[in-house]
Amino acid sequence: MAYKKPERRSLGHHLGAAPHMTAAQFRRDHWTISTRCPRCHLDCWVDLDVVIRLSGGEVKLWNRQARCRRYGCPGRMVFLCTPPGEAAGAFWPLHDPEGRSG
Shortest distance in whole angstroms from residue 42 CB to Zn ion? 5
Tell me the residue type at 70: R
75 binds Zn ion (CB under 5 A): yes
Of the candidate spans 18-26, 28-36, 69-77, 82-90, the one that interacts with Zn ion by CB under 5 A turns out to be 69-77
80 binds Zn ion (CB under 5 A): no
35 binds Zn ion (CB under 5 A): no
Residue whose CB is less far from Zn ion, 18 or 80: 80
Residues contacting residue 5 through CB under 8 Å, at least 6 positions apart:
none
Q: 3-state DSSP call for residue 89?
A: coil
81 binds Zn ion (CB under 5 A): no
* d(C-alpha 33, C-alpha 61), whole Å: 10
37 binds Zn ion (CB under 5 A): yes
Cα distances (angstroms) measured from residue 18 to each of 13, 26, 46, 72, 98: 9, 9, 16, 31, 17
Chain contacts with Zn ion (rule: CB under 5 A):
37, 39-40, 42, 68, 70, 73, 75
